[in-house]
Amino acid sequence: MDRHDSRAASEPRPSPPSPARILIVDDEPGIREVLSALLRRDGYDTRSAESGEQGLSAFAEFKPDLVLTDLQMPGIDGLDLLGRVKAAAAREQRTVAVIVITAHGTVDTAVRAMREGAFDYVTKPFLNDELRAKIGRALEVAKLSADNVRLRSALGERYQLDRFVGQSSRMQEVYQLIRQIRGTRINCLICGESGTGKELVAQAIHYGSDRKGGPLISVNCGAIPESLFESELFGYKKGAFTGAQRDKVGLFEAASGGTLFLDEVGELPLSAQVKVLRALAERRVTPVGASAELAIDVRIVAATNRNLNDEVKAGRFREDLYYRLNVVQIDLPPLRDRREDIPDLVRHFIGRFAAEFRKPVSGLTPEGLSILSRWRWPGNVRELQNVMERAVALADGPLITPAALPGRIQEEDLAPSAEEKDASDLEMKAGIDLEARLMETERRYLRAALKITAGNRTHAAKQLGITFRSLRYRLIKLGMASEEDLGRE
Ligand SMILES: Nc1ncnc2c1ncn2[C@@H]1O[C@H](COP(=O)(O)OP(=O)(O)OP(=O)(O)O)[C@@H](O)[C@H]1O
Ligand SMILES: [Mg+2]
């Protein structure tokens, strides 16, 4: 070998920035070819894999900056691959962006993929420019995200009440109560429908107390089989029963010095209620098979979405335990009873998911907000959070439109909103334009009927109990359709 050459090779050269590496995973050879040709032309270094399995080994060896994967593949599918790639990257402390390719009409899977950490998705058939733009942005963000992770952990535990959004008077009362009791070790019972923020309250109490250095142990009382309660809550000694091969620390002991959060406490079977009551009263527990009691120092916060008072009356919940848990009761109002909090919550969730999905979504249209303000929110804040997550994922502009909101919540259009229900005295004094009001109402019903019949005017007319001719006449009068639009029918 020529000496001169070998020296030249070992000389440090100004290295051009190395091209970003992209791994393409798709079971269709045609798509793989098109994509790698396109991306190579753009100067990327690419590798292709024809299955999730191959994709995983290529990921380990090729160390791509970005993975572009089809969602539907036999064997390890795109969602699986996404999870595994993300986990592997986390283990190796490197970042990888994943963009998923979905077939048309499977947007919900795409949303799920984004929830599980995909950066973005493209729908087949895709436009090259759209794909290029998404890849460019993903790579840029991946570069920044390493810094981001560091920053987030540096911020540490935030002041817990800061995590609540909503300034309604009902919530102000809740915050006030939390402030009053968090410094004490008073037991408290948090009541509220599903998704109203009970767990958030439990955390605010624990982290706002001087027990915050101790553990916060959550136990879902509805999830423990009746036969296991005692050993789960109080622990056991080695040899206490067959299978007890070593000592097990119970949850009461594990929470010592901190807070034990008994979630869904209404689900505790009666047999377990007796034992919990004794533990609370005596501040001691006896692990199964132990000869001595253990002193425990825990604060109990319990939560329920049932009405425990009714449970007591029905004989399903012990009254003495109820009073012991319920020294202070915090009632979380359902979201429909504090609709004034909806705009703040919406803004909060848009900000959060826009950042999480790195999408430039900044708000929603007035029509969108009005739909959200009317819905009855049976799943409360959690439901709103899910709706906003989906909406941000689906938004294709800076403002979320009704199209990105689930159909079920739009049907509420038919019900008059709270404001409309009471045409208040005040309003009457100011004088109203009845004709305009009636037209507005008419328009709302026509729109709703057309929506639920997917725009079929014959069906919509039937739905409204009017003739097709009458519907035609009204649509034109209200400016919702023109003669030409309708002429064709
Ligand atoms: N006031 C609020 N501000 C911001 N986020 C909230 C608020 N209330 C609830 N959330 C969020 O809504 C979700 C549901 O809240 P949480 O889990 O505390 O409800 P929960 O009452 O315990 O529900 P479940 O009865 O279903 O267990 C969580 O993600 C929580 O962070
Ligand atoms: Mg909960």
Element (DSSP H or E) covering residue 360: none
pLDDT tens track for 102-132: 886 667 788 888 877 888 888 888 888 889 9
Which distant-in-sequence residues (6+ apart) come within 8 Å of 157 by Cβ? 207
Report whether pLDDT(305) > 50. yes
| Alpha helices (H) in 302-394, listed in sequence order | 308-313, 319-325, 342-357, 366-374, 380-394
| Averaged pLDDT, 316-337 | 94
Q: Give the distance (Å) from ligand 2 centre to CA of residue 223.
A: 12
Q: Is the CB of 209 under 6 A from ligand 1?
A: no
Q: Is the CB of 161 under 6 A from ligand 1?
A: no
Q: Per mean pLDDT, which range of 50-59, 94-103, 149-158 is the poorest?
A: 149-158
Which atom of ligand 1 is found nearest the CA of 303?
A: 22
Domain 19-154 has CATH 3.90.950.10: no
Nearest CA to ligand 1 atom 5: 164
Q: Give the distance (Å) from ligand 2 centre to CA of residue 237.
A: 31
Average pLDDT over all residues of the chain: 85
Please give the backbone phi and psi of residue 44, each rounded to the nearest 5 degrees, phi first: -85, 155
Nearest CA to ligand 1 atom 30: 197
Report whether pLDDT(12) > 50. no
Q: Give the distance (Å) from ligand 1 centre to CA of residue 86.
A: 26
pLDDT tens track for 35-93: 999 999 999 999 999 999 999 999 999 999 999 999 988 888 898 999 899 888 877 76
Q: Would you list the domain boundaries of the chain?
A: 19-154, 161-333, 337-414, 427-487
Regarding the domain delimited by 427-487, which CATH topology (the fold level of the hierarchy) does it fall under?
Arc Repressor Mutant, subunit A (1.10.10)
Neighbours of 343 (CB within 10 A): 14
Ligand 2 is a single-atom ion; what residues have CB below 5 A from it?
Answer: 198-199
| Ligand at shortest distance from the CA of 388 | 1
pLDDT tens track for 417-446: 544 455 555 566 666 777 777 888 888 888
* Amino acid type, 70: D
Q: What share of the chain is helix, strand, coil (3-state, %, to 5)?
A: 55, 15, 35
Q: How many helices (H) and strands (E) does the chain have?
A: 23, 16
DSSP per residue over 171-185, as a string?
HHHHHHHHHHHHTS-
Report whether pLDDT(158) > 70. no
Report whether pLDDT(333) > 80. yes
The band of 8, judged by pLDDT with boundaries at 50, 70 and 90, is: very low
Which distant-in-sequence residues (6+ apart) come within 8 Å of 115 by Cβ? 389, 393
Task: Tell me the percentage of the chain whose pLDDT exceeds 70.
Answer: 88
Q: Give the distance (Å) from ligand 1 centre to CA of residue 199.
A: 6
| Ligand at shortest distance from the CA of 194 | 1
DSSP per residue over 398-457, as a string?
SEE-GGGS-HHHHGGGGSPPHHHH---HHHHHH---HHHHHHHHHHHHHHHHHHHTTT-H
pLDDT tens track for 449-479: 888 777 888 888 888 888 888 898 888 888 8
pLDDT for the residue 145:
62
Which of 196, 206, 265, 347 has most ligand 1 atoms within 8 Å of its beta carbon, as the pocket-test mutant? 196
Q: Is the CB of 385 under 6 A from ligand 1?
A: yes
Q: Give the distance (Å) from ligand 2 centre to CA of residue 264.
A: 8
pLDDT for the residue 256:
86
Regarding the domain delimited by 337-414, which CATH topology (the fold level of the hierarchy) does it fall under?
Helicase, Ruva Protein; domain 3 (1.10.8)
Nearest CA to ligand 1 atom 28: 382
Report whether pLDDT(405) > 60. yes
Q: Is the CB of 194 under 6 A from ligand 1?
A: yes
For 309, the token pair is 């008072």
Tell me the C-alpha distance between 380 and 483, whole Å.
Answer: 44
pLDDT tens track for 264-278: 999 999 999 999 999
Domain 161-333 has CATH 3.40.50.300: yes
Tell me the C-alpha distance between 435 and 72, whole Å.
Answer: 55
Which atom of ligand 1 is found nearest the CA of 166?
A: 1
Which of 155, 158, 159 lies closest to 178 in space, CA to CA?
159
Q: Is the CB of 347 under 6 A from ligand 1?
A: no
| Ligand at shortest distance from the CA of 199 | 1
Q: Is the CB of 198 under 6 A from ligand 1?
A: yes
pLDDT for the residue 425:
59
* Beta strand residue intervals within 14-155, DSSP E: 21-25, 45-49, 66-70, 97-103, 120-124
Report whether pLDDT(345) > 80. yes
Block residue for tokens 């952990």: 153
Tell me the C-alpha distance between 191 and 164, whole Å.
Answer: 17
Neighbours of 478 (CB within 10 A): 14
DSSP assigned state of 94: -
Which distant-in-sequence residues (6+ apart) come within 8 Å of 198 by Cβ? 190, 191, 192, 263, 303, 305, 332
